Amino acid sequence: MTVTIVGSQLGDEGKGRVVDLYGDAADVVVRYQGGDNAGHTVVEDGTEYKLSLVPSGVIRGKVGVLGNGCVVNPETLFSEIDALRERGLEPDVRLARRAHVILPYHRVLDGIEEDVKKDDDLAAGTTGRGIGPTYEDKAGRRGIRVGDLLDPDVLRDRLEYVVPQKRALAEDVFGIETGEEFDVDALYEQYKAFGERMKDEDMTVNAGDFLGKYNDGGKNIMFEGAQGTSIDIDHGIYPYVTSSNPTAGGAATGTGLGPGVVGQGEVVGIVKAYLSRVGTGPLPTELHDETAEYIREEGGEFGTVTGRPRRIGWLDMPMLRHAARANGFTGIAVNHLDVLAGIDELKVGHSYELDGEELFTMPSTTERWGRCEPNLKSFEGWPEVDWSEVVEQGYDAIPDNARAYLDYISDELDAPVYAVGVGPGREETIVLTNPME
């Protein structure tokens, strides 16, 4: 069976910790989109792991696959694998030969384009990892794939075609001086060596075939989404989005297993109990007061990848209803309940007011979304409690007001609560249902 873990908001909902939570019963954990723009945190026995490419399941010793829908920076991947080895783990990571490779020029172009867009307020506040430019080349059929790194002649041909175009773009359109990042010979040597290491370590696979065998053998497959529904390139707040499909459909196209395989499994929406945002663009329920400060400090809301302070807002129900439909959530996991403890009165954006109309889901243009005024619903807060005791006693031991908050979310989304996070650690979770069992 399959379980797909999907961010229901703007990323950083705590997907990594839920993958880790349920990962024990998984035989393989697969990333299906995105690249090292992701930062997934797993806390095992007080030890923290921050993973940007290696699937979170490897912390439990599971096979990790980067599917064809991912974009892979080999440099980041190898340094992450090496760092995990130094910490005593033996990550078994397989790479789809169809996945696209991030090259140094993609990162340079990501930075330049963001700078240029700033003047028009169009910059997405990207992670600067070259994600957008790599997906652009994929769609433009000029990308370099993992499989190409394994064949030096193909690699050279591809580089000779694409690099002069990138150099011309950087120099003639954007007016910057280019260096080794745009040099065919230097890139060829560097990326050929990455290909050799991939071969030596027998890392590359035909992901669809590889995963198909797991599926045919009745094994448990976990799909680890990165980013979140509202920064999905199709369903998110375009243009302030990432360049892939974090939504559940991406688990099929990004791995080579059919949509039926994904759809017959469980799709678990990961919900942060409030909103956090690292990038730019509108945010109707954004907070600018001392409550935002409190949540930012209590929740440690500073970007995993970039260290930037995250923007904070109240929970946005139209955003969650949109996510529940786009992904078909069979259940939800709500994280960071502990962070809200100690706030007297909580608010939730129940619906939006736009041009005299009440909306219950997100409008499809970001300009209209930016003009939405949230209709706020109030909830009484709950005090700080001994969460380890609550975990021991189970769901009913959650403070009444917090349970009312969770029940409201679950009812509105018509999806049961599978788990509640009350701290970053693996044990700091109240588990109601394990979809993998």
Residue whose tokens read 């190409």: 148
Indicate which of Mg ion, ligand IMO, ligand GDP, none lies near residue 247 (CB less than 5 to 8 Å, by partner kind).
Answer: none
Residue among 320 and 390 whose Cβ is closer to ligand IMO: 320
**By CB under 6 A, is residue 125 in contact with ligand IMO?**
yes
Residue among 210 and 329 whose Cβ is closer to ligand GDP: 329
Question: Measured from the CB of residue 76, what is the shortest distance to ligand IMO in angstroms?
Answer: 13
Indicate which of ligand GDP, ligand IMO, Mg ion, none lies near residue 129 (CB less than 5 to 8 Å, by partner kind).
Answer: ligand IMO
The residue ranges that bind Mg ion (CB under 5 A) are 12, 39, 304
Token reading at 210: 């590889």
Distance, in Å, from the CA atom of 18 to the CA atom of 41, rounded to the nearest integer, reads 10
Alpha-helical regions (H) of 90-201: 104-118, 131-139, 146-149, 152-168, 184-200
Angstrom CA distances, 423 to 274, 284, 344, stand at 14, 27, 20
Token reading at 77: 């991947």
**By CB under 6 A, is residue 236 in contact with ligand IMO?**
no
Token reading at 28: 């393989």
- Name the residue type at position 417: V
Q: Which residue is closest to ligand GDP by CB? A: 421
Distance, in Å, from the CA atom of 20 to the CA atom of 23, rounded to the nearest integer, reads 5
Which listed residue (20, 24, 27, 40) is catalytic?
40
- Is residue 411 within 8 Å of 394, Cβ to Cβ? no
Q: Quick one: which segment of 78-86, 119-127, 156-164, 312-320 binds ligand IMO (CB under 6 A)?
A: 119-127
Which residues from 21-60 bind ligand IMO, rule CB under 6 A? Answer: 37-40
Catalytic residue list contains 40:
yes
Q: How many CA atoms lie within 13 A of 249 on its CB side?
A: 11
Residue among 227 and 255 whose Cβ is closer to Mg ion: 227
Dihedrals phi, psi of 299, to nearest 5 degrees:
-90, 0
The residue ranges that bind ligand GDP (CB under 6 A) are 7, 11-17, 39-41, 43, 299-300, 304, 335-336, 338-339, 421-424
Dihedrals phi, psi of 143, to nearest 5 degrees:
-80, 165
Of 2, 5, 9, 12, which lies in the binding site for ligand IMO, with binding defined by CB under 6 A?
Answer: 12
Catalytic residue list contains 12:
yes
**By CB under 6 A, is residue 270 in contact with ligand IMO?**
no
**By CB under 6 A, is residue 254 in contact with ligand IMO?**
no
Helix axis angle for 184-200 and 152-168, nearest 10°, is 140
Q: How many CA atoms lie within 13 A of 392 on its CB side?
A: 5
**By CB under 6 A, is residue 227 in contact with ligand IMO?**
yes
Residues at the contact surface with ligand IMO, assessed by CB under 6 A = 7, 11-12, 37-40, 124-127, 129, 131-132, 226-228, 231, 240, 242-243, 278-279, 304
Q: Mind telling me the catalytic residues?
A: 12, 40
